[in-house]
Structure 1
Amino acid sequence: MDALTDLLDGPRARGAFMIRSTLNPPWSVRIQDRAPLTLVAMVHDEAWIVPDTGTPVHVRPGDLVICRGPDPYVVADSTSTEPQIVIQPGQHCTTPDGTSLSEAMDLGVRAWGTDPHGTAVMLVGTYETRGAVTQRLLAALPPLAVVRGDTWRTPLVGLLDEEITKDEPGQEVVLDRLLDLLLIQTLRAWFSRPEAEQPGWYRAHGDPVVGPALRLLHDDLTHPWTVADLAAKVGASRTALAQRFSKLLGEPPMAYLTGIRLAHAADLLRESDATLDTIAHRVGYGTAFALSTAFKREHGTSPQEYRSNAATATA
């Protein structure tokens, strides 16, 4: 298992918010739903994505954009078009003065917009819940990550466009998995760009020493790893591995291991009903007390408080 696989393997889409949006110009939508991650595929026409702070991004047919929340942004036909629609938390859409537009914009099963035959067509998939493992990925992304359609090709956009408005048994699961696959492909394409500011764990994946060490750590979090043990497994000296690891990832191997263990623990606290003792053993801590001590030092709150707060936020 590599670091990107590990980051995406925990919090998967579950009932993600997905729509096929069709609009006629002039149009402008302000997104302030506070969702952690949204994927936008431009199918027809063009658009501008305008963050509250930062440079507007021009989006053309075939482009895919990863929008990292929770900061708001505007999607519009032009940077000069004032927002006519506001997407609130819970995907409730209103006018700028708060009048509900949910019924007026509903064009059918996962179809939304001002005109079913609108010239601008976008597929939108939103991950509405935040998981601790995903947070490591979000930290590696800019507010807007754009993969240009003329630099890569994927059959998934066409398949998603075909499936998104269907209403068949199991359709929600089909769409969730398609969204996950499209996100993974888009992330791989974005991180592999020559000009990309790749996170350390992504660059390290191809390193002949650190890459295998990373895969060992992600493959078995429960193993009582030491730097010496890890170095022996990858055929390097302890000093060489520690120095190379710290240079590429910005932290020593054991600090990195602690981070991913606690990130997995946080995700399990949020996503499951497992006891703290069970979670501790699943992420490589001998006892619930040991996990609780490390977790509080990292997050500033106890595992029980974290789980309670996550449940309240979800509700």
Structure 2
Amino acid sequence: MAGRLVRMSVRPAVFYAHAMDALTGLLDGPRARGAFLMRSVLTPPWSLRIQDEAPLTVVTMARGEGWVVTDAVGEPRGRRAAATPLHPGDVAILRGPDPYTVADDPATPPRVVIHPGQVSATPQGVELCEVMALGVRTWGDGPDGPVVLLSGTYQMRGEVNQRLLRALPPLVRLPADAWNSSLVPLLEAEIGREAPGQEVVLDRLLDLLLTAALRAWFARPEAEVPGGYDAQSDPVVGRALRQLHADPARAWTVAGLAAASGVSRAALGRRFTALVGEPPMTYLTNLRLTLAADLLREPDATLGAVARRVGYGSPFALSAAFKRVRGVSPRDHRRRGAAPHADVGA
């Protein structure tokens, strides 16, 4: 048992050791596991209709130009297409499950449709996976096409922090000149390699690219800052957040947290909810369950040990809270997380 506890303490220490800022709390969560990564080589005219229902996809133009076409919601006369240009080095982050199109021109009709499971077919349903294969994680209509598109897809909702998904618009575009990063050429260099442990390398590169791109995007003036993002700088709520993240397993109450933050219980409740978007104890529950979800992926972790680590008095209490909030039992979460194409409810 001692060996198990030592092993479990490594990753949670990352959470507990830092007084996490709001951005860290929001971005800490992408954990790709066997993510679908692809290098697409294309010749105009080209158009890919993506309807794979994936929770999150990162797309970047390594070479050439393109457009992302999404459907605007809430138009009085239905849905209207919205087109966003993609230049070399630009990064687009698309939140599922709504479909979208990536094309050389917004007017080009879809020529390939990507279905759930990353099955590609013509609009008429003829499968193209084998026909358009060009090598290791490379696909397209010819090896010498002038357009190279890199894409990485998180295939399970459990791989991405649900608070992050709720904070994002359907499409985030980060222009190449908005950040200075070598991650895109590094991903392009690695995506076509076949080496021991390559899937793990690509998963971590995708996580790093997503996190770095979102950090740069949230700093831009046009970014819509998610609820709670600025709460860390508040002298009261910021102190409360640091207390919760530093010791989430503590038997916190609103009164105890208010005392540690130097205000009354009522004042903390009002201010915390206004800035973060949810009451302190709801935030704490979600924080604990996010930590528990990550810990449960450790093969040697027991439910009882995880419960103690995140502040639940028994495995039953953790299991009940996990299923109530995330819609799946800890056991099912662990089993589905081990399957590359499984889906985890949230």
The two structures share one fold, judged by TM-score above 0.5: yes
SS at match of 1:208: coil
**2:15 equivalent in structure 1:** none
* Partner of residue 34, structure 2: 15
What pairs up with 1:77-88 in 2 under 5 angstroms? 77-88=104-115
- Give the superposition deviation at 1:29: 0.5
State the alpha-carbon separation in 2 of the partners of residues 61 and 206 from structure 1. 35
Equivalent position to 2:273, from 243, 246, 252: 246
Counterpart CA distance in 2 for 1:177 and 1:301 is 26
Match of 1:298 in 2: 325
Structure 1 unmatched runs, 5+: none
- Letter of the 2:273 counterpart: S
Q: Please state whether the residue corresponding to 1:90 is helix, strand or coil.
A: coil
**1:192-239 CA deviation, whole Å, 9 max, x = no partner?**
222322112222133333223223312322111223433444455544
| Kept after mapping to 2: 8 A contact 1:131/1:270 | no
Quick check: 2:28–2:161 contact (8 Å CA) kept in 1?
no
Secondary structure of 1:159 counterpart: helix
Could you say what secondary structure the match of 2:287 adopts?
A: helix
Q: CA deviation at 1:10?
A: 4.1
Distance 1:65 1:11, change over 3 A: closer
The amino acid that maps onto 1:261 is R
Q: Does residue 1:47 correspond to 2:74, yes or no?
A: no
Instruction: Name the counterpart of 1:182.
Output: 209
Worse-superposed segment, 293-302 or 82-91: 293-302
Change over 3 Å in CA distance of 1:78–1:271 after alignment to 2: farther
Percent identity for Structure 1 against Structure 2 = 61
Matched, 1:116 2:143: yes
Question: Residue 75 of structure 1: CA displacement?
Answer: 0.7
Q: 1:308 to 1:108 in 2, by over 3 A?
A: closer
Q: State the Cα deviation string for residues 110-145 of structure 1 (Å, max 9, x = none).
A: 222112221222211111111176222111111111
Is contact 2:22–2:231 with CA below 8 Å preserved after alignment?
A: no
SS of the aligned residue for 1:56 comes to: strand
What secondary structure sits across from 2:284 in the alignment? helix
What is the TM-score of this pair, normalised by structure 2? Answer: 0.80
Q: Distance in 2 between matches of 1:204 and 1:48?
A: 35
Cα distance change of structure 1 residues 72 and 281 upon mapping to structure 2, 3 Å threshold: same
Secondary structure of 2:203's match? Answer: helix
**Structure 1 pair 8/197, CA: closer, same or farther in 2 (3 Å)?**
closer
- Match in the other structure for 2:179: 152
Q: Distance in 1 between matches of 2:142 and 2:154?
A: 25
Q: How far has the Cα of 1:33 moved from its partner?
A: 1.4
Structure 1 partner of 2:126? 99
**Cα distance, 1:28 vs structure 2:** 0.4
TM-score by length of 1: 0.88
Indicate which of 8, 12, 21 corresponds to 1:2.
21
* Residue in 2 that maps onto 1:125: 152
1:50 is paired with a residue whose SS is strand
Give the 3-state SS of the residue equivalent to 2:69 in structure 1: strand
After superposition, residues 128-277 of structure 1 pair within 5 angstroms as 128-131=155-158, 134-266=161-293, 274-277=301-304
Q: 2:57 aligns with which of 34, 38, 63?
A: 38
Q: Distance in 1 between matches of 2:299 and 2:97?
A: 24
Structure 2 residues without counterparts, runs of 5 or longer: 1-19, 74-81
CA shift for structure 1 position 293: 4.0
Q: CA shift at 1:13, angstroms?
A: 1.4
State the alpha-carbon separation in 1 of the partners of residues 251 and 145 from structure 2.
58
1:87 is paired with a residue whose SS is strand
Give the direction of change, closer, same or farther, for the CA distance of 1:133–1:13 in structure 2 (3 Å limit). closer
Note if contact 1:20-1:123 (Cα within 8 Å) is conserved in structure 2: yes
Is the 1:18–1:125 Cα contact (8 Å) retained in structure 2?
yes
Aligned-residue offset at 1:57: 1.7
Q: 237-246 or 195-204, which moves further after superposition? A: 237-246
